[in-house]
Amino acid sequence: MNTPVAPGRRARITAITSGKGGVGKTFLSANLATALARQGEKVLVLDADLGLANLDVVLNLFPKITLHDVFTGKHTLEEAILEAPGGFSVLLAGSGMVEYSRLTPEVREQLVDVVQKVVPRFDRILLDTGAGISDVVLYTVSLADEVLIVATPEPTSLTDAYATIKVLATTQGRRDIRVLVNQVSKPGEGRIIRGQLQQVVDRFVSPGLEVPVKLEFVGEVPIDPSVREAVKKRQLLLDCLPGSAAAQAVIAAATRLRA
């Protein structure tokens, strides 16, 4: 209800979240942004993992001016938006953001303010949120038009992804949630996982809701040594190993995200 609306250009805001940390959310955000930019979208990745941001590490960008300076009023938003290597823009949280890991009224106002200002200037905003279902994460997700959940086939990741879906469906009225499965060990595993999540949602979440929750499969990214290689080099996978299976899977996921 409080989501900003601007006339003319209006970015589609996609929150990328995961129940559990360490599932490759930030790595995927950066590479999805690259793929989307190559497909012609003007993309901004907003590092909304305020407490534990590491998009800077993934992108090997350590700017002097960050979101922190925008929040404190030291610099303008324009000064903090950088060009990332993948051909998209990025707004990094910066290390000073630890003090924003709690959701105070000021943090909320600041976040909404920033989102409102960037929305008319991009086609797509990826909100790289923190893991878990803390109030900062839930609030950030609530600013998005759509949600993409990243999960891996590990039982702990699946459980946390399911818990996140449940919370988003019941407290935010989300009915369409996208699922991207990372680190699959055989083709088709991602679809099975989506089906598995859907089955539990149908049985335990949707009854009682007027409109059932639909999980949309966006793709699966295989376990691929080239991912490790790119991360170690601090490069985008789509830049350094574009022909790898994982890179191709990310490109396919970006295409489905645009549909």
Partner 1 sequence: MNVFPEKLIEVNSKPHFLPPAAADALRLEQALSLLSQSGQQVPAGVEGSTPWLQSLIDALCDLSSRDGLTGLANRRNFENAIARESDRVARSGEPALLLMLDIDHFKRINDHHGHVAGDLVIKAVADALNATVRPMDLVARIGGEEFAIILPNCPPAFGSAVAERIRARVESQAIPLVGGQQLGCTISIGGAYAPQWVRSTPAVWMERADLQLYRAKSEGRNRTCLEPTPVSVVSAEEKGLLFASSIFGEDLS
Which of 147, 158, 153, 225 has the alpha carbon at shortest distance from 20? 158
Asked if 105 is part of the footprint of partner 1 (rule: CB under 8 A), the reply reads yes
* Identified binder of partner 1 from the candidate list 173, 187, 212, 225, rule CB under 8 A: 173
Q: Which of 64, 50, 51, 60 is nearest to 27 (CA)?
A: 60
Measured from the CB of residue 171, what is the shortest distance to partner 1 in angstroms?
Answer: 4
Q: Are 175 and 42 in contact (CB under 8 A)?
A: no
Q: Does residue 163 belong to the site contacting partner 1 (CB under 8 A)?
A: yes
Task: Kindly state whether residue 103 participates in binding partner 1, applying the rule CB under 8 A.
Answer: yes
Amino acid at 228: R
Task: Please report, in angstroms and rounded to a whole number, the separation of the first and last CA atoms in the chain.
Answer: 25
208 class by beta-carbon count within 10 Å (0-12 exposed, 13-18 middle, 19+ buried)? exposed
5 near partner 1, rule: CB under 8 A: no
Q: Burial, 211: exposed, middle or buried (Cβ in 10 Å; 0-12, 13-18, 19+)? A: exposed
Among 200, 231, 245, 252, the residue binding partner 1 under the rule CB under 8 A is 200
Contact call for residues 174 and 186 (beta carbons, < 8 A):
no
DSSP state of 96: G
> Binding residue for partner 1 (CB under 8 A) from 3, 60, 72, 95?
3
- Residue 98 interacts with partner 1 (CB under 8 A): yes or no: no
Please state at what angle helix 105-118 crosses helix 135-142, rounded to 10 degrees: 30
Binding map of partner 1 across residues 46-85, x = CB under 8 A, - = no contact? ----------------------------------------
The answer to whether residue 139 forms part of the interface with partner 1 (CB under 8 A) is: yes
Q: Judged by CB under 8 A, which of 71, 100, 122, 162 binds partner 1?
A: 162
Using the rule CB under 8 A, which residue among 7, 64, 210, 259 binds partner 1? 210
**136 vs 114: CA distance, rounded Å:** 15
> Is 110 among the residues that bind partner 1 (CB under 8 A)?
no
One residue of 87, 153, 219, 222 binding partner 1 per CB under 8 A? 153
Closest to partner 1 by CB, 14 vs 142, is 142
Note whether 240 binds partner 1 by CB under 8 A.
no
Distance CA 236, CA 138 (A): 28
Give the footprint of partner 1 on this chain (CB under 8 A).
1-3, 103, 105, 108, 133, 135, 138-139, 141-143, 153, 155, 158-159, 162-164, 166-167, 170-173, 185, 189, 192-193, 195-197, 199-200, 203-204, 208-210
